[in-house]
Protein backbone atom coordinates (compact mmCIF):
# COMPACT_ATOMS: atom_id res chain seq x y z
CA UNK A 1 0.00 0.00 0.00
CA UNK A 2 1.39 3.39 -0.94
CA UNK A 3 1.06 6.19 1.59
CA UNK A 4 -0.66 9.33 0.38
CA UNK A 5 -0.53 12.32 2.70
CA UNK A 6 -3.86 13.91 3.63
CA UNK A 7 -4.25 17.24 1.78
CA UNK A 8 -5.96 18.62 4.92
CA UNK A 9 -2.98 17.86 7.15
CA UNK A 10 -2.30 21.50 8.06
CA UNK A 11 -5.90 22.49 8.75
CA UNK A 12 -6.17 21.93 12.50
CA UNK A 13 -2.73 21.78 14.15
CA UNK A 14 -1.43 25.00 15.75
CA UNK A 15 2.34 25.65 15.50
CA UNK A 16 4.56 27.62 17.88
CA UNK A 17 8.03 29.11 17.44
CA UNK A 18 10.94 27.52 19.30
CA UNK A 19 11.88 30.44 21.52
CA UNK A 20 13.24 33.30 19.43
CA UNK A 21 14.17 31.05 16.47
CA UNK A 22 12.37 30.89 13.16
CA UNK A 23 11.64 27.18 13.60
CA UNK A 24 8.05 26.27 14.41
CA UNK A 25 6.88 22.99 15.91
CA UNK A 26 3.39 21.50 16.21
CA UNK A 27 1.75 21.66 19.65
CA UNK A 28 2.11 17.88 19.80
CA UNK A 29 5.29 16.18 18.61
CA UNK A 30 5.79 12.43 18.40
CA UNK A 31 8.69 10.63 20.10
CA UNK A 32 9.95 7.22 19.01
CA UNK A 33 11.57 6.21 22.31
CA UNK A 34 9.69 3.04 23.30
CA UNK A 35 7.13 2.14 20.68
CA UNK A 36 9.31 1.88 17.56
CA UNK A 37 11.76 -0.87 18.45
CA UNK A 38 12.40 -4.14 16.65
CA UNK A 39 9.00 -5.45 17.84
CA UNK A 40 7.12 -2.88 15.71
CA UNK A 41 6.49 -4.03 12.14
CA UNK A 42 6.69 -1.73 9.13
CA UNK A 43 2.92 -1.50 8.60
CA UNK A 44 2.36 -0.55 12.23
CA UNK A 45 5.09 2.11 12.11
CA UNK A 46 3.73 3.62 8.92
CA UNK A 47 0.20 3.61 10.30
CA UNK A 48 1.29 5.62 13.34
CA UNK A 49 3.70 7.99 11.63
CA UNK A 50 1.34 8.49 8.68
CA UNK A 51 -1.61 9.21 10.96
CA UNK A 52 0.49 11.70 12.93
CA UNK A 53 1.72 13.47 9.81
CA UNK A 54 -1.83 13.56 8.39
CA UNK A 55 -2.89 15.50 11.51
CA UNK A 56 -0.08 18.06 11.25
CA UNK A 57 2.48 16.39 13.54
CA UNK A 58 5.55 17.42 11.59
CA UNK A 59 8.10 16.65 14.29
CA UNK A 60 9.47 13.17 15.05
CA UNK A 61 11.96 12.91 17.91
CA UNK A 62 14.61 10.20 18.15
CA UNK A 63 17.89 9.40 19.86
CA UNK A 64 20.76 7.07 18.99
CA UNK A 65 19.66 4.59 21.69
CA UNK A 66 15.89 4.40 21.06
CA UNK A 67 14.59 0.90 20.42
CA UNK A 68 14.97 -1.68 21.80
CA UNK A 69 17.53 -2.64 20.77
CA UNK A 70 19.42 0.69 20.65
CA UNK A 71 19.40 2.07 17.09
CA UNK A 72 16.24 0.17 16.07
CA UNK A 73 13.97 3.23 16.13
CA UNK A 74 16.29 5.19 13.85
CA UNK A 75 16.49 2.23 11.48
CA UNK A 76 12.71 1.91 11.36
CA UNK A 77 12.26 5.63 10.78
CA UNK A 78 14.87 5.37 8.03
CA UNK A 79 12.82 2.66 6.33
CA UNK A 80 9.61 4.69 6.56
CA UNK A 81 11.39 7.73 5.19
CA UNK A 82 12.89 5.77 2.30
CA UNK A 83 9.70 3.96 1.30
CA UNK A 84 6.90 6.40 2.09
CA UNK A 85 7.80 9.77 3.60
CA UNK A 86 10.74 10.82 1.44
CA UNK A 87 8.66 13.23 -0.68
CA UNK A 88 7.81 15.00 2.59
CA UNK A 89 11.35 15.38 4.01
CA UNK A 90 11.18 19.18 3.87
CA UNK A 91 7.87 19.15 5.75
CA UNK A 92 9.42 17.21 8.64
CA UNK A 93 11.58 18.13 11.61
CA UNK A 94 13.59 15.10 12.64
CA UNK A 95 15.75 15.22 15.74
CA UNK A 96 18.27 12.89 17.32
CA UNK A 97 20.53 12.91 20.37
CA UNK A 98 23.69 11.43 21.84
CA UNK A 99 24.79 11.08 25.45
CA UNK A 100 23.38 7.87 26.93
CA UNK A 101 25.17 4.51 26.51
CA UNK A 102 25.19 3.45 22.85
CA UNK A 103 28.28 1.38 22.09
CA UNK A 104 30.92 -0.28 24.30
CA UNK A 105 33.98 1.52 25.57
CA UNK A 106 34.69 5.06 26.72
CA UNK A 107 33.41 6.82 23.56
CA UNK A 108 29.93 5.29 23.39
CA UNK A 109 28.25 7.73 25.80
CA UNK A 110 28.36 11.12 27.56
CA UNK A 111 29.47 14.34 25.90
CA UNK A 112 32.95 14.23 24.38
CA UNK A 113 33.42 15.55 20.85
CA UNK A 114 34.58 12.08 19.84
CA UNK A 115 31.37 10.50 21.10
CA UNK A 116 28.87 13.09 19.87
CA UNK A 117 30.14 13.43 16.31
CA UNK A 118 30.65 9.68 15.78
CA UNK A 119 27.15 9.08 17.11
CA UNK A 120 25.61 11.67 14.80
CA UNK A 121 27.27 10.02 11.79
CA UNK A 122 25.87 6.65 12.89
CA UNK A 123 22.39 8.14 13.36
CA UNK A 124 22.43 9.69 9.90
CA UNK A 125 23.43 6.34 8.38
CA UNK A 126 20.69 4.47 10.26
CA UNK A 127 18.05 6.97 9.17
CA UNK A 128 19.42 7.32 5.65
CA UNK A 129 19.35 11.12 6.02
CA UNK A 130 21.84 13.80 4.91
CA UNK A 131 21.09 15.94 7.95
CA UNK A 132 18.92 16.07 11.06
CA UNK A 133 16.93 19.16 11.86
CA UNK A 134 17.91 19.18 15.52
CA UNK A 135 20.89 17.51 17.22
CA UNK A 136 20.86 17.36 21.02
CA UNK A 137 23.30 16.74 23.80
CA UNK A 138 21.09 14.15 25.52
CA UNK A 139 22.35 14.93 29.03
CA UNK A 140 24.81 17.19 30.78
CA UNK A 141 28.23 15.55 31.15
CA UNK A 142 29.98 16.65 34.35
CA UNK A 143 33.26 15.04 33.22
CA UNK A 144 33.71 16.87 29.90
CA UNK A 145 34.33 20.62 29.52
CA UNK A 146 31.11 22.24 28.40
CA UNK A 147 33.10 24.02 25.68
CA UNK A 148 33.89 20.62 24.16
CA UNK A 149 30.30 19.30 24.22
CA UNK A 150 28.88 22.56 22.88
CA UNK A 151 31.73 22.78 20.37
CA UNK A 152 30.68 19.37 19.00
CA UNK A 153 27.11 20.63 18.53
CA UNK A 154 28.38 23.76 16.78
CA UNK A 155 30.61 21.64 14.55
CA UNK A 156 27.63 19.47 13.54
CA UNK A 157 25.89 22.66 12.36
CA UNK A 158 28.96 23.91 10.50
CA UNK A 159 29.27 20.52 8.78
CA UNK A 160 25.67 20.76 7.65
CA UNK A 161 24.78 17.59 9.53
CA UNK A 162 22.36 19.44 11.83
CA UNK A 163 20.35 22.60 11.21
CA UNK A 164 19.69 23.44 14.88
CA UNK A 165 21.04 22.29 18.22
CA UNK A 166 19.44 21.46 21.55
CA UNK A 167 20.16 20.32 25.07
CA UNK A 168 18.17 17.81 27.08
CA UNK A 169 17.65 17.58 30.85
CA UNK A 170 20.23 20.32 31.56
CA UNK A 171 19.41 22.04 34.89
CA UNK A 172 19.15 25.83 35.08
CA UNK A 173 22.78 26.79 35.64
CA UNK A 174 24.06 24.33 33.00
CA UNK A 175 21.44 25.68 30.59
CA UNK A 176 22.69 29.24 31.10
CA UNK A 177 26.32 28.13 30.72
CA UNK A 178 25.57 26.13 27.55
CA UNK A 179 23.74 29.11 26.06
CA UNK A 180 26.69 31.43 26.78
CA UNK A 181 29.30 29.02 25.39
CA UNK A 182 27.33 28.35 22.21
CA UNK A 183 26.50 32.04 21.72
CA UNK A 184 30.25 32.75 21.71
CA UNK A 185 30.50 30.25 18.85
CA UNK A 186 27.69 31.99 16.99
CA UNK A 187 25.23 29.12 17.40
CA UNK A 188 22.01 29.63 19.37
CA UNK A 189 20.38 26.84 21.37
CA UNK A 190 17.05 26.36 19.67
CA UNK A 191 15.44 23.90 22.07
CA UNK A 192 15.67 22.52 25.56
CA UNK A 193 14.09 19.08 26.03
CA UNK A 194 13.33 18.40 29.70
CA UNK A 195 10.83 16.06 31.33
CA UNK A 196 7.77 18.01 32.50
CA UNK A 197 4.24 17.17 33.51
CA UNK A 198 1.58 18.25 35.95
CA UNK A 199 3.12 15.84 38.48
CA UNK A 200 6.79 16.44 37.51
CA UNK A 201 7.61 20.14 37.78
CA UNK A 202 11.37 20.23 38.25
CA UNK A 203 11.89 22.82 35.49
CA UNK A 204 9.64 25.21 37.38
CA UNK A 205 11.22 24.42 40.73
CA UNK A 206 14.81 25.03 39.56
CA UNK A 207 13.69 27.81 37.17
CA UNK A 208 15.10 26.15 34.04
CA UNK A 209 11.93 27.13 32.19
CA UNK A 210 12.34 30.77 33.23
CA UNK A 211 15.94 30.71 32.00
CA UNK A 212 14.77 29.33 28.65
CA UNK A 213 12.16 32.08 28.32
CA UNK A 214 14.71 34.75 29.18
CA UNK A 215 17.37 33.37 26.80
CA UNK A 216 14.97 32.78 23.90
CA UNK A 217 15.31 28.99 23.98
CA UNK A 218 12.21 26.97 23.07
CA UNK A 219 11.06 24.17 25.38
CA UNK A 220 9.72 20.79 24.29
CA UNK A 221 8.43 18.72 27.21
CA UNK A 222 9.17 15.02 27.16
CA UNK A 223 6.97 12.48 28.98
CA UNK A 224 4.13 15.02 29.40
CA UNK A 225 1.91 12.11 30.47
CA UNK A 226 4.61 10.86 32.86
CA UNK A 227 4.98 7.74 30.71
CA UNK A 228 1.25 7.00 30.79
CA UNK A 229 0.65 7.49 34.52
CA UNK A 230 -1.51 10.49 33.58
CA UNK A 231 -3.89 8.30 31.62
CA UNK A 232 -5.19 6.75 34.84
CA UNK A 233 -4.25 3.25 33.64
CA UNK A 234 -2.28 2.49 36.81
CA UNK A 235 -5.22 2.71 39.23
CA UNK A 236 -4.85 0.05 41.93
CA UNK A 237 -7.57 -2.17 40.49
CA UNK A 238 -6.37 -2.02 36.86
CA UNK A 239 -4.38 -4.66 35.00
CA UNK A 240 -0.93 -3.67 33.74
CA UNK A 241 -1.01 -6.14 30.86
CA UNK A 242 0.15 -4.51 27.63
CA UNK A 243 1.32 -1.30 29.32
CA UNK A 244 4.76 0.18 29.83
CA UNK A 245 4.42 -0.59 33.54
CA UNK A 246 4.10 -4.30 32.83
CA UNK A 247 7.89 -4.74 32.84
CA UNK A 248 9.21 -4.25 36.38
CA UNK A 249 12.72 -3.63 34.98
CA UNK A 250 11.42 -0.99 32.55
CA UNK A 251 11.60 2.80 32.68
CA UNK A 252 8.37 3.20 34.63
CA UNK A 253 9.50 2.64 38.19
CA UNK A 254 7.52 1.72 41.31
CA UNK A 255 8.21 5.21 42.69
CA UNK A 256 6.35 6.70 39.70
CA UNK A 257 3.14 4.91 40.70
CA UNK A 258 3.13 5.25 44.47
CA UNK A 259 -0.37 5.44 46.03
CA UNK A 260 0.03 9.20 46.72
CA UNK A 261 0.77 9.79 43.00
CA UNK A 262 -2.21 7.69 41.96
CA UNK A 263 -4.44 9.58 44.42
CA UNK A 264 -3.44 12.84 42.71
CA UNK A 265 -4.16 11.32 39.30
CA UNK A 266 -7.67 10.37 40.46
CA UNK A 267 -8.34 13.95 41.58
CA UNK A 268 -7.09 15.26 38.23
CA UNK A 269 -9.49 12.92 36.49
CA UNK A 270 -12.41 14.56 38.32
CA UNK A 271 -11.23 18.01 37.19
CA UNK A 272 -10.85 16.78 33.60
CA UNK A 273 -14.38 15.36 33.56
CA UNK A 274 -15.81 18.69 34.74
CA UNK A 275 -14.12 20.30 31.71
CA UNK A 276 -15.59 17.68 29.38
CA UNK A 277 -12.06 16.51 28.59
CA UNK A 278 -10.19 13.28 29.19
CA UNK A 279 -7.42 13.06 31.78
CA UNK A 280 -4.64 12.87 29.15
CA UNK A 281 -6.09 15.91 27.40
CA UNK A 282 -6.12 17.88 30.66
CA UNK A 283 -2.51 16.83 31.33
CA UNK A 284 -1.42 18.00 27.87
CA UNK A 285 -3.35 21.29 28.11
CA UNK A 286 -1.61 21.96 31.43
CA UNK A 287 1.87 21.40 29.94
CA UNK A 288 1.07 23.64 26.97
CA UNK A 289 -0.37 26.48 29.09
CA UNK A 290 3.01 28.25 29.50
CA UNK A 291 4.21 30.63 26.83
CA UNK A 292 7.77 29.21 26.95
CA UNK A 293 6.43 25.78 25.95
CA UNK A 294 6.81 25.10 22.24
CA UNK A 295 5.49 21.54 22.07
CA UNK A 296 4.47 18.54 24.15
CA UNK A 297 6.49 15.49 23.10
CA UNK A 298 4.25 12.47 23.43
CA UNK A 299 4.81 8.76 22.90
CA UNK A 300 1.95 6.56 21.75
CA UNK A 301 1.54 2.83 21.43
CA UNK A 302 -1.31 2.99 18.89
CA UNK A 303 -3.48 5.26 16.77
CA UNK A 304 -6.33 5.30 19.31
CA UNK A 305 -4.03 6.86 21.90
CA UNK A 306 -2.83 9.41 19.37
CA UNK A 307 -6.41 10.32 18.40
CA UNK A 308 -7.31 10.92 22.02
CA UNK A 309 -4.21 13.03 22.64
CA UNK A 310 -4.87 15.16 19.55
CA UNK A 311 -8.25 15.99 21.11
CA UNK A 312 -6.46 18.41 23.44
CA UNK A 313 -6.40 20.96 20.63
CA UNK A 314 -10.15 21.51 21.06
CA UNK A 315 -9.76 22.73 24.64
CA UNK A 316 -6.40 24.23 25.58
CA UNK A 317 -7.46 27.05 27.86
CA UNK A 318 -7.33 26.63 31.63
CA UNK A 319 -8.90 29.19 33.95
CA UNK A 320 -6.98 30.51 36.98
CA UNK A 321 -9.45 28.59 39.18
CA UNK A 322 -8.75 25.35 37.31
CA UNK A 323 -4.97 25.86 37.57
CA UNK A 324 -5.34 26.43 41.32
CA UNK A 325 -7.51 23.30 41.67
CA UNK A 326 -4.90 21.29 39.72
CA UNK A 327 -2.12 22.58 42.00
CA UNK A 328 -4.12 21.57 45.05
CA UNK A 329 -4.95 18.12 43.60
CA UNK A 330 -1.28 17.34 42.86
CA UNK A 331 0.35 18.92 45.92
CA UNK A 332 1.22 15.56 47.53
CA UNK A 333 1.38 13.54 44.33
CA UNK A 334 4.54 14.66 42.56
CA UNK A 335 7.04 12.20 41.07
CA UNK A 336 10.76 12.41 40.47
CA UNK A 337 12.17 11.99 36.98
CA UNK A 338 15.36 13.12 35.26
CA UNK A 339 17.45 14.98 36.25
CA UNK A 340 16.24 15.19 39.83
CA UNK A 341 16.78 11.46 40.23
CA UNK A 342 20.31 12.06 38.95
CA UNK A 343 19.92 9.79 35.92
CA UNK A 344 22.14 12.24 34.06
CA UNK A 345 25.10 11.40 36.27
CA UNK A 346 25.11 7.65 35.69
Ligand X SMILES: NC(=O)c1ccc[n+]([C@@H]2O[C@H](COP(=O)([O-])OP(=O)(O)OC[C@H]3O[C@@H](n4cnc5c(N)ncnc54)[C@H](OP(=O)(O)O)[C@@H]3O)[C@@H](O)[C@H]2O)c1
Residues of this chain that interact with ligand X (CB under 6 A) are 31-35, 61, 138, 168-169, 193, 222-228, 231, 233, 243-244, 280, 297-301, 305, 308-309, 338
Question: Helices 113-127 and 72-80 sit at what angle, rounded to 10 degrees?
Answer: 40
Least spacing, CB of residue 136 vs ligand X, in Å: 7
Q: What is the 3-state secondary structure (H, E, C) of 228-255?
A: HHHHCCCCCCCCCCCCHHHCCCCCCCHH
Least spacing, CB of residue 320 vs ligand X, in Å: 26
Q: Are 75 and 42 in contact (CB under 8 A)?
A: no
* 207: region left, alpha or beta (phi > 0 left; psi from -120 to 50 alpha): left
Q: How far apart are CA 58 and CA 15, in angstroms?
A: 10
Residue 107 forms beta bridges with which residues?
A: none
Q: How far apart are CA 84 and CA 94, in angstroms?
A: 15
Q: Which is nearer to ligand X, 140 or 329 (CB)?
A: 140
Q: Which is nearer to ligand X, 115 or 226 (CB)?
A: 226
Phi, psi values for residue 170, rounded to 5°: -75, 125
Least spacing, CB of residue 95 vs ligand X, in Å: 8
Q: Which is nearer to ligand X, 112 or 168 (CB)?
A: 168
Q: Which is nearer to ligand X, 87 or 250 (CB)?
A: 250
Least spacing, CB of residue 219 vs ligand X, in Å: 12
Least spacing, CB of residue 337 vs ligand X, in Å: 8
Least spacing, CB of residue 68 vs ligand X, in Å: 13
Least spacing, CB of residue 214 vs ligand X, in Å: 22
CB neighbour class for 308 (10 Å; exposed up to 12, middle 13-18, buried from 19): middle
Q: Which is nearer to ligand X, 60 or 292 (CB)?
A: 60
Please compute, for residue 53, the number of CA atoms within 13 A of its CA located in the half-sphere on the CB side: 25
Q: How far apart are CA 134 and CA 220, in angstroms?
A: 12
Q: Are 169 and 193 in contact (CB under 8 A)?
A: yes
Q: Taking Cα atoms as reference points, which of 160, 112, 105 lies closest to residue 135?
A: 160
Least spacing, CB of residue 319 vs ligand X, in Å: 24
Alpha-carbon Rg for the chain, nearest whole angstrom, is: 19
Amino acid sequence: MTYRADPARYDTMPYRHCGRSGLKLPLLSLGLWQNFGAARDYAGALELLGYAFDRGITHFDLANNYGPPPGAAEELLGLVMARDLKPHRDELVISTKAGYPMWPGPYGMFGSKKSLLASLDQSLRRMGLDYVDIFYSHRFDPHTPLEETMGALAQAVRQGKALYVGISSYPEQQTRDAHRVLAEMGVPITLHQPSYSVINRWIEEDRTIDACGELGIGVIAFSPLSQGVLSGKYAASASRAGTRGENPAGTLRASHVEPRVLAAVEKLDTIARKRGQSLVQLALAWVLRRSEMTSALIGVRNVDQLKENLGVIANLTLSAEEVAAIDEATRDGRMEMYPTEKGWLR
